[in-house]
Amino acid sequence: MHITDILVTGEPIIYAAMVSIALVTVAIVFLLTYFKKWGWLWREWLTTVDHKKIGIMYILSALAMLFRGGMDAMMMRVQLAFPNLGFLDSQHYNEIFTTHGTIMIIFMAMPFLIGLMNIIVPLQIGARDFAFPYLNALSFWSFFFGAMLFNISFVIGGSPDAGWTSYTPLSGAAMSPGPGQNFYLMGLQLSGIGTLATGINLMVTILKMRAPGMKLFHMPIFTWSTLVTCFIIVFAFPILTVALALLTIDRIFGSQFFTLTGEGLPMMWANLFWMWGHPEVYIVILPAFGIFSEVIATFAKKRLFGYNAMVWSMIIIALLSFLVWVHHFFTMGAGAFVNSVFSVSTMLIAVPTGVKIFNWLATLYKSKIEFTVPMLWSLSFIPSFILGGVTGVMLGMAAADYQFHNSYFLVAHFHYVLIAGTVFACFAGLVFWYPKMFGHKMNERIGKWAFWLFFAGFHVCFFPQYFLGLDGMPRRLFITNIAEWLPLNIISTVGAFGMGLGFAVFVYNIYYSYRYSERETTGDSWNGNGRTLEWATTTPVPFYNFATVPYVDEIDPYVRMKEEGKTTFDETKLKPIHMPSYTGQPIIMMSFLGLASFGLIFEWIPVAIAGLIGGVVMMIVRSFDYDDGYYVSVEEIKRIERKARGL
């Protein structure tokens, strides 16, 4: 394959992207060299196994991916509002909605939430790090290289263009030749391994490393949501691993799983994909529920209403999530009986979800609501999510779904639940825990601007799409060719730009707050309203998290600790703390596996084998690595804590 066959050519947007990628890369390399930061970058970040730093890297990557996915969305909206512009052709539009969907779900929503889990869950349960810090770094780098691999498809080789669901036979070797679809398969496979590892890692962390006395039903609700999510990850992700592997083998090695030849069965892909895909949407929504619960309880200054019901409803949602996958293709003709069963199971999910909504409302009852930025994101979630939820039930009614399916009604529905649920939660969580991560809060005034712009833009963008769907506009249509559809599409595009502006203001706020925000002096950043253990640590959080781990036997332990004047620094109980060493192995191992994936994408088998051998060698290196970490001395802990606490 010649180099000119690899680079995507012929479109001004792509040349612009190439130039900007090149410029940004040169700028980063220049800045790092000029300020002599290469060593710092390697020592402090690329080799870190600290859950807080890994979490920050997850969130920064997720924000970058949100930008990329958002740009895709803007281009789609421009194309649909101006059908006479000839802005994008069909092929290009198909690539863009495919990358938009894949990036937003796999490389934005999940890493964002996993980033928050990384930083907060150990702090909430009183742990010093993850159960397997090395594995955690490995997970991050597998996500990172997976995401990079997927993103370079834009300029090298060509983007996938079969939708984020990648239905066969369209995505098979016959109908989608070339590397585009391989980028999808390998990018998801590589990052999927990391997600599975994170699921196991967090599960063991939560089950084995809780503070003394903390029973499962004492855990903060965000930690509970993480635990439930990890169960879903462990049982759903292997299905995706298999589905992706089978399609990869189909495409590269000529097997006949999903082909039209050799008696293959293309419909099996839809089944396998959604057996993972439906649990996946709960993987991104349950942690969001957890974040909202934490934020609402904190700024209502009140205990969460119905804690047990909240936990059990999450568990029931998780179980039901494995029993509804057929509702994504009621129209496949499985028959009235099968559709009835899955229709009822789908609607049943509304019951535990409804319970949660009412519990949040009841938490607000007899409370003292303070409208901070994280609270605004969380409160606005309730009415917005209800609109997505009720239309979800309507979609679950299979007979009616025959009309909604594949239409903009569906598009509006899942954006209503994913944005009002997951994206609002990511923003709420980031702003809420921002002081724990960076030692200063985000500016409230600018934060409110970002919120209102994004919130209003969101409703203006997606509410009209329900009506477009009812008027028969199918999803994934590259041009608005029916006059009646145009006005609502224009409104929708206006809203999308509102959201874009809101995001821009949000990012500006990060810069502004870095420059001008007051530095935190206490660990309990939100006017002393913290309820759970993460607020008991100092800000910035010392690398070992807790000098002494408190005894916990209730739901909001920090409330009692404050009443009794206790802290996480009890000089009489100090002991040396064991910490894991930083290591460069994870990033090296994953870059080899990234190389192997790259080789497979272009079907350059020698490159793939070379990468694989590199990866295996790194695993052997790891197996012989008996580095047991190091101990932080009591004197060192005293020095750090006294300085942080101003003693």
Partner 1 sequence: MAAEELKTGPLEYRSQEGRMGILGFWIFLGAEVVLFATLFATYAVLFGRTADAPTPAELFEPGIVLIMTFLLLTSSFTCGLAVNEMRKGNTKGLTIWMVITLALGVAFLGFEIYEFVHYAHEGATLQSSAYWSAFFVLAGTHGLHVTLGIGWAILLLIQIAKRGLTNKTSRKFFVISLYWHFLDVIWIFIFTSVYLIGMVI
Partner 2 sequence: MKNKHLRSRWLGLLPFSLILFLSGCGNLEMTVLNPKGPVAQSQYDLIMYSLWFMLGIIVVVFGLFAFMLIKYRANRPGRKESDYEPNLHGNTMIEIVWTVIPLIIVILLSIPTVTTLFDLEKAPEPADGQEPKEPLVIHATAADWKWFFSYPEQDIETVNYLHIPTDRPIEFMLTSADSMSALWIPALGGQKYNMAGMMTKLYLQADEEGVYDGRNSNFNGEGFAAQTFKVHAESEEDFNSWVEEIQNEAPELTQEQYNELVKPGLTDEASFSSTHLDFVNHATTDGADYVVERYRELYGEKIELYDIDREETFE
Q: Which of residues 148-207 bind partner 2 (CB under 8 A)?
A: 161-163, 167, 169-170, 174-178
Instruction: Specify the residue, 275 or 547, whose C-beta has the smaller distance to partner 1.
Output: 275
**Given the rule CB under 8 A, which of 37-45, 239-247, 299-307, 486-494 is the region that contacts partner 1?**
239-247
Query: 49, 582 in Cβ contact below 8 A?
Result: yes
Residue pair 194/141 in contact by the 8 Å Cβ criterion? yes
Distances (CA, A) of 309 to 131, 217, 317, 545: 28, 11, 12, 31
Return the residues of window 241-300 that contact partner 1 according to CB under 8 A.
241-243, 245-246, 249-250, 253-257, 259, 261-265, 268, 272, 275
Q: How far apart are CA 432 and CA 300, in angstroms?
A: 14
Q: Which amino acid is at 485?
A: W
* Residue 162 CA from chain centroid, whole number: 22
Segment (H or E) for 630: strand 630-632
By a kind-dependent CB cut-off of 5 to 8 A, residue 253 interacts, out of partner 2, partner 1, none, with: partner 1
Q: How far is the CB of 254 from partner 1 (least distance, A)?
A: 4
Q: Contacts for 637-644 with beta carbons within 8 Å, 24 or more apart?
A: 637/544, 637/547, 637/574, 637/577, 638/571, 638/574, 640/542, 640/547, 641/538, 641/542, 641/547, 641/569, 644/538, 644/539, 644/540, 644/542
Contacting range for partner 1; rule: CB under 8 A; set: 3-11, 81-89, 202-210, 453-461: 202-210
Strand partners, 631: 578
* Nearer to partner 1 (CB atom), residue 133 or residue 495: 133
* Letter string b/e over residues 107-127, b meaning 16 or more CB atoms within 10 A of that residue's CB: bbbbbbbbbbbbbbbbbbbbb
237 binds, among partner 2, partner 1, none (CB under 5 to 8 A by kind): partner 1
Q: What residue 343 binds from partner 1, partner 2, none (CB within 5 to 8 A, per partner kind)?
A: partner 2
On whether the CB atoms of residues 461 and 492 are closer than 8 A, the answer is: yes
Residue 205 in contact with residue 120, Cβ under 8 Å? no
Q: Which of 231, 463, 497, 604 is the binder for partner 2 (CB under 8 A)?
A: 463
Q: Is residue 482 a contact residue for partner 2 (CB under 8 A)?
A: yes
Nearer to partner 2, 368 or 519 (CB): 368
Q: Which of 434, 439, 442, 394 is nearest to 416 (CA)?
A: 394
Question: Do the Cβ atoms of 417 and 389 come closer than 8 Å?
Answer: yes
Give the shortest CB-117-to-partner 1 separation in angstroms.
16
* Distance between CA atoms of residues 423 and 418, nearest Å: 7
Binding mask 587-626 for partner 1 (x = CB under 8 A): ---------------------------------x--xx-x
Q: Which stretch binds partner 2 (CB under 8 A): 142-150, 185-193, 335-343, 434-442?
A: 335-343
- Is residue 239 at the binding interface for partner 1, with CB under 8 A as the rule? yes
Residues from 295 through 354 that contact partner 1 (CB under 8 A): none
Residues β-bridged to residue 579: 630
Please, what is the minimum distance in Å from the beta carbon of residue 204 to partner 2? 30
Q: CB under 8 A: which stretch of 49-57, 375-383, 560-568, 602-610 binds partner 2?
A: 375-383
Residues 63-102 that bind partner 1 (CB under 8 A): none
* Residues binding partner 1 (CB under 8 A): 128, 131-132, 196, 199-201, 203-204, 207-209, 234-239, 241-243, 245-246, 249-250, 253-257, 259, 261-265, 268, 272, 275, 575, 578, 620, 623-624, 626, 628
